[in-house]
Amino acid sequence: MSTTEPDSTLSASAFTCVRCGLTVSALDPDGGPRDHCPSCLSSRHVVDQTDGGASPCGGRMAPISIAVPRGGAWLLVHRCTLCDEMSESTVSTDDNHLVLMRIAVRPLADPPFPLDLFGEV
Ligand SMILES: [Zn+2]
Ligand SMILES: [Zn+2]
């Protein structure tokens, strides 16, 4: 074990996922900023969505939905498990595709009305 520089450089460019503990680079493969874990897609409530400043909350942001604005790129919608504030973040190319698809199809897997109606139109 060497005793060179501990976490000071790591913390600036990486964070630890609050859900699965993965060490996540703060930059995505395209060099953009990353705010959620590419494995479980969880995030942390550190930005106040109302004024854009730092949030004192620090709660876990759970991925709850996919939004698709006009541009076509997927947005991941998070909701804080502590204070219920919601946020949107861009999906990275290395985000877990299986988890993304599971979130995207969730409403279709459990619709509030019978889907066999569509067989009759
Ligand atoms: Zn994670
Ligand atoms: Zn919160």
Looking at all shown ligands, the one closest to residue 83's CA atom is: 2
On whether residue 55 sits in a domain, the answer given is yes
On whether residue 81 sits in a domain, the answer given is yes
State how far the Cα of 33 lies from the Cα of 90, in Å rounded to an integer: 9
CA of 52 to the centre of ligand 1 (A): 23
On whether residue 41 sits in a domain, the answer given is yes
Tell me, what's the pLDDT at 1? 52
On whether residue 24 sits in a domain, the answer given is yes
On whether residue 66 sits in a domain, the answer given is yes
CA of 47 to the centre of ligand 2 (A): 9
On whether residue 5 sits in a domain, the answer given is no
Tell me, what's the pLDDT at 91? 94
CA of 118 to the centre of ligand 2 (A): 40
Tell me, what's the pLDDT at 19? 97
Looking at all shown ligands, the one closest to residue 82's CA atom is: 2
Helix (H), strand (E), coil (C) string for 85-103: CEEEEECCCCCCHHHHHHH
Mean pLDDT by 10 residues, the chain (121 residues): 47 86 93 94 94 94 95 94 96 96 92 81 60
On whether residue 3 sits in a domain, the answer given is no
Looking at all shown ligands, the one closest to residue 61's CA atom is: 2
Structural domain containing residue 96:
13-109
